[in-house]
Structure 1
Amino acid sequence: MISQFGSDHCRSRIRRSATAIADRRIDLMVGALRHQHREDEFDCVGFIELPLSIVARSGHPLCQREKVSIADTVEYPWIASRDGSPARLLFEKMFQTRGMQQPKIYWKWDARSRAAASC
């Protein structure tokens, strides 16, 4: 319930901000582009692309290797950001651009609400 409230509240604030830009009450907004928009609605320019890191427990089988490729990781379950988040889109793109299947997502993490859900 709290997670849903936080998510709804955040979406409401973003909608108000987008409306303020469209109404010319504010000029610019900095933030993560978390949804698709009509091209005639806003001009969005990528500002920073944050790197993603792979984190594993000490002693994980992949940690025993000298080099680890993206293909090596597919067979393991992952914890990933929620669907549609910028980090999740980058994560999915990492596999798609290599023509690889997406790995199994065991947990979805939502940093905005600090909540995780099993899949």
Structure 2
Amino acid sequence: MKPEKLSWVTIPLLISVILSILGMLSLPFIGFFMNLIFGAAMNDASTTASDAQALGWVKLFTGSTLWIIFFFSLAWTVFQFLTYRAIQEGKGWARIAAIVIAILGLLNFPVGTALGVFMLVGAFDPAVQEYANR
């Protein structure tokens, strides 16, 4: 039987997964707006050839950074989802992973902090510890 405070771990994990997906979905819009800004700066009359070349490099590195953020976010979201599924099944590693996710979530003020506190309270509940160590 699943412990009562297991939902204190699983629900914040599911909310974190949803928020991560929403964050990843916003990345194309950020790229679009950055392209608009760089395009306007390059077409400005006061932009010299060397400024345009520098803006081209900045545009390249900004786009690359957005792709790197996307792939790291995707990996983090998959890790959170796998942890969510495993903690429901009572796997011991998932409780430790949920604690790590909660501690890192504490840095994400204010929503991540609240979710992290709930996850830590749930993860350190004796019934949840026993369920995860079976």
Taking structure 2 as the reference length, the TM-score comes to 0.24
**RCO comparison, higher one (Cα < 8 Å, 6+):** 2
More strand by share: 1
Taking structure 1 as the reference length, the TM-score comes to 0.27
